[in-house]
Chain A
C-alpha cells in the first residue's frame, strides 16, 4: 500500500525577502518539490493608467518614472517616443544621443541590480554589494544630469529637460573605462562559480516556442536563443547608427534558456551597452536640446503604439488620443508584467530553492507589474 502524503500550500510573500517586492506566490508543495505556482499580483497597484487619464501629456512623464523604478530613464524614453510618434515631431540629434546614452547607462544600472540581487537570492551577498557600488556611480551621473538619483523626469516629450552638464561626457567616459574590468570581476566572483552554475544551469528552462507564445521579450527571450532586440529589429532613435551585437543564450553551462543563460545574457548586454555609450559619446553633436519641445501638446485623434527595448524587454505604450490635452487611455505593456506570467510554467517540478532562482532570473520590478 502506498503511503498517503499530503500536499502543503506555502505562501511566499507578499512579505518575503526574495520576491523582489510585494509579489505573492502560492506554492503547492510535495515536500520540497513544486507542484504548482500561482502568482498573485496587484499589491503595488497605484492606478497609473487611471491617473494618466487626468494628466496632460507632459505631466504623465513623472508617473512613468514610478513604474519600473529601476529603469526610469527608459520608461520616459519610451513614453516620449510614443507621444512624439502621435504628434509626428522630430527631435534634434543631440537629444537622441543624450537619450541613448542615458538609456544605455540605465540598462547597465538596471542589469547590475538584476545580477546583484540574483546573486543575493542564490546566497552570495558580496556580488550584490559590488554591483550596487558600481550602480552608485551611474546614479551619480544621472544626478549630475537631472538632479535626481532614481526618478529623473529628465526625458521630456520633444527633448530633454536640460542640456548635459559640461563635465558629464568626460565623467561618463571615465565610468566606461572604470566599469569594463568590473564586469570581469563579477564574472570571476559569481558567474563562473561552480556552486552558482550548479544552482542555475538547467534550472527553469524556457523553450523558445513557449517564450514566444507567452510574449516574453528582452534578455529572457534572447536567453532562449532568439536574436530579437527592438534596437536592431525595429530601430528607434539613433540605434541604427550605432554598432553593437545582440547576445543570445547558447546553453553554455546547461540547456539553452536556463537561468544561467538568462543571467549571462545580461552580463554580455552590459558590455554591449558600454560599447554603445562609447560610440555615442564620440558621435554626439552640439545643439539645442529644448528647441523641439512643444509648448502645448494637443495631439490629433488617433491611437498609437510606441515601443522600446527596456532593460527587461519590450516596453510598449498604447496611447489613445481624443484630441484633447489629456490622453484618453494609456495602456502600458510592461515587460515585467508579461515575463512574470510564465513563472508557473518554469517552476513545475523544481524545488523551493529553485523558485527563488527562477524568479530572480526573470528580473521583475513590481512597480511595473502592478503599475
Chain B
C-alpha cells in the first residue's frame, strides 16, 4: 500500500519503509493526541458544569500545544535510586508498543501501513509489549506506589487479553481471515453488512448472529477499555490511591510519551472495535465519490468515516470515564474471570455452531 507507493516514488526500499513508518505518527497519532487531549478536557469540563481551558487561543484550542511546549522545557528528573537503563527505556517501549499497532490498521482502502495477513494477530501480539514497558517503568522507578501500579497493570492487561482474543476468534470464525483489510472489505456496502449486524452473510444465519455479535462487541469494548487503563478500569494509575501509578516518577517528555501512548491506545482500541464490528473504513450509506463519479474522493471519505467512528468510540470512553467510579482490583479481576471470559466462551461456541449451519 503506502509502502509500495513510496517504494515506487523514491525507488529505495529503505527510504520507503522509513517514510511509511513515520507517516501515521505525524499524520495521525500526533494530531489525534493533540485533539484528543483537548477534547477530553473540554468534554469533561462541560459534563461537570465547567468551562475547561479558556485562555490559550479561542476557547483554549491551543492549550495542548502550550502544554507540549511546557513539557519539552521541563527538566527530565531521574532520581538517584532509579534503575536508569530500564527507567529510560520504559516510556519508549510503551510508546512503541502502542504505536506499532497503527501499522496494521487500515485507515482507508488506500492508506494502510502494512497489509499483513495476520494483521489482527499482530495487533494483539504487539500491544503486549506495553505490559513489559509498564512493568519496567514501575520497577525501575524504585517506588512502592509505582511498583504496586505496575503489578496491578500487568495483571489487568494480561487478564483482559483473554476475553479480547476470544472475541477476535469469534469474529475470525465468521470472517475466516485475520487480514484487517479483508475483514473490512467483507463489510462493504451498507451498514447492515457490518459484522455487528451479522455481516455479509445471506440467509437465516445472519439474523441468528446479530445478538451474539452484539454481546461480542460489548465484551470486547469493555475489555479493551480495561487494556487501555481507562475508568472504570484505571486501577493501575488510580490517582486517589497510587498517586499516579507506574508513571508517578516520570516528568517532562518521558511523561509525555506515556501520555501520548495512552491517547494513541485509546484510538487504537476504538479502531479495532470499529474494524471488527462497525465496518472499518466503510461508509454506512455508500459514497459521494461513487455517486459523483470522482473515484479519488472515495478513500478520503473512507478516512473520514474511519476517524469519525473511531473518535465516536473515544468519546464514549471519555463519557464513561467522567461518569463512573473506579472498581477495586479484586472486583476488576472478578469482572474479567467470572463474567467476561465465560460469556465470551459461550458466545464463541454459539457463533461457531451458527457458522456451521
Contacts and interface: CB of A to CB of B under 8 A. Distances in A.
The answer to A–B direct touch (Cβ < 8 A) is: yes
Contacts of B328: 198-199, 351, 353-354
Given A125-B48, A195-B232, A353 B329 contact: yes
Interface in A123-167: 123-126, 129-130, 133
A32 B231 CA distance: 20
A17 B239 contact: yes
A121 interface: yes
Interface string B224-266: 0000000110110011111100000000000000000000000
A212 interface: no
B243 A17 contact: yes
B128 to A, nearest CB: 24
Given A8-B144, A129-B48, A130-B49, A198 B327 contact: yes
A10 B144 contact: yes
Interface string A30-65: 001000000000000000000000000000000000
B46 to A, nearest CB: 11
Contacts of B55: none
Interface in A15-38: 16-18, 32
Interface residues of A, number: 29
Interface in A196-214: 196, 198-199
A297 interface: no
Nearest to A125: B322
Taking each of A16, A195, A199, which has the highest tally of chain B beta carbons within 10 Å of its own beta carbon? A195
A73 to B, nearest CB: 25
A8 B145 CA distance: 11
B15 interface: no
A123 B240 CA distance: 7
Contacts of A199: 325-328, 331
B105 to A, nearest CB: 30
A190 interface: yes
A39 B145 CA distance: 18
Contacts of B234: 123
Taking each of B145, B232, B235, which has the highest tally of chain A beta carbons within 10 Å of its own beta carbon? B232
Contacts of A189: 323
Contacts of B327: 195, 198-199
Contacts of B80: none
A122 B326 contact: yes
B324 interface: yes
A198 B338 CA distance: 15
B325 A195 contact: yes
A32 B322 contact: no
B241 A126 contact: no
A187 interface: no
B144 A18 contact: no
Given A126-B323, A190-B325, A199-B328, A120 B240 contact: yes
Contacts of A125: 44, 48, 322
A126 B50 CA distance: 10
B69 to A, nearest CB: 26
Interface string A184-197: 00000110010110
A352 interface: yes
B257 to A, nearest CB: 23
A367 interface: no
A32 B332 CA distance: 14
Given A32-B148, A130-B49, A193 B240 contact: no
Interface residues of B, number: 28
Given A123-B234, A129-B49, A195 B324 contact: yes
Contacts of A123: 231-232, 234, 238, 240, 324-326
A17 B325 contact: no
Taking each of A119, A189, A196, A352, which has the highest tally of chain B beta carbons within 10 Å of its own beta carbon? A352
A133 B322 contact: no
B19 interface: no
A183 interface: no
Contacts of B239: 17
B75 interface: no
A246 interface: no
Contacts of B50: 129
Taking each of A123, A125, A196, which has the highest tally of chain B beta carbons within 10 Å of its own beta carbon? A123
A281 B323 CA distance: 36
B232 to A, nearest CB: 6
A127 B331 CA distance: 22
Contact of B49 (A133, A190, A352): A133
A17 B240 contact: yes
A325 interface: no
Contacts of A18: 240-241
Interface in B143-160: 144-145, 148
A352 to B, nearest CB: 6
A356 interface: yes
A195 B321 CA distance: 13
Contacts of B323: 124, 126, 189
Contacts of B238: 123, 353
A63 to B, nearest CB: 31
Nearest to A15: B243
Given A193-B324, A353-B238, A198 B331 contact: yes
B68 interface: no
Contacts of B47: 126
B325 A196 contact: yes
A189 to B, nearest CB: 7
Interface string A330-365: 000000000000000000000111101000000000
Contacts of B242: 352
Contact of A126 (B144, B235, B322, B326): B322
Across the A-B interface, give the 4 residue pairs with the lowest CB-CB distance, nearest first: A123-B326, A129-B48, A124-B325, A18-B240
Interface of B: 44, 47-50, 144-145, 148, 231-232, 234-235, 238-243, 322-331
5 contacts: A32-B148, A123-B238, A195-B324, A199-B331, A356-B240
Given A123-B238, A126-B48, A353-B241, 16 more contacts: A32-B148, A32-B330, A120-B240, A125-B44, A125-B322, A126-B44, A129-B49, A129-B50, A130-B49, A195-B232, A195-B324, A199-B326, A199-B328, A351-B328, A351-B329, A353-B328
